[in-house]
Structure 1
């Protein structure tokens, strides 16, 4: 242990790695509370909590490697993707937590937020109006009744670790809670649409693919401003802009 590595850092939170320990520093204690509760309840492998002294949560590193990163190709096997899908199904079938998570916002709230973000994107010349309009139309398929599930809320491809074809840990639970299961499926496959079939081989095929596509558009539009304001680049290859363009 001879150095501190900054995993991610912006104005809301930062994650540091010191040897085999991750230190998560969060300005919002509620997010720490959510993460601690979700890790205790989730029926899938999670990091060991070493200690929690808000605003810092200390977690042990999980073994294995991720399937890839948003914007980069995934070289993982179909079986590894299927294993990730099976773990995701186990989570979604688990008893519900008490809190509503990021994936639990209702259609009216989502539609209002989406309209505001689309207006901002067009008014500021950030994205072409036809690109925004088309993806706003695609996103409407997500505005439908759904059955609550235990959701991760931010299940990016980099948040699930495997050793071969065995899931060894799922990290970053601060957005977890009751929500739409297909939000997690779409978030996990964002930018990796070609691997959706492999994931569903383990998850199960009783999903509405139009809703998955809707969540790809919806999530990309909703997070665009936040990403640019916090030092991330949605224009990077394979990221949000490319996801939006794929719907044209």
Structure 2
């Protein structure tokens, strides 16, 4: 028996009441996490195969999580190949939680690469390209060293947790700044950190000064 759902809610209700499922083919796009939201609403216990448009980020996420995937346009031979992968007892066990975490974080820690939005398009940028992150109510602004602006739609606290081992610091609770950018472009001016490229002032809070000192960005002789 085959069931097709166009709405995540309907699919989730059906999955919650039906356990004997051989395969789940999930059509996945990253705009607004369409498709991926199923993981928040129902457990996935069956063999999973992702159907996706051409997207290097999704392909990397699936490959790293050992989850079979098929790139659109769909061909029967490709579906059959991935079913064989899913059925093969020698295949590595899929890491569904790891895949879901990366899909919602839009971050690949192995490559230190982000999936970002720009002019209604999804792009990937490397962490080394980022100058700073800025928190807004419903998104995070990402500004690279050339002044280009991108958007990530996820909680700021989750971003900080993902990057806690990286060379970044918080001059203010709403900003996360790359240490490399600081060394090249930033000086301290009273209660602001001044970025020379791109040209912007970032507020420096009391806790931010402590963070800056700990990161070696400023010292007591450069504070006013």
Query: TM-score, with normalisation over the residues of structure 2?
Result: 0.28
Q: Which structure carries more relative contact order (alpha carbon 8 Å, separation 6+)?
A: 1
Which has the larger share of strand? Answer: 2
Which has the larger share of helix? Answer: 1
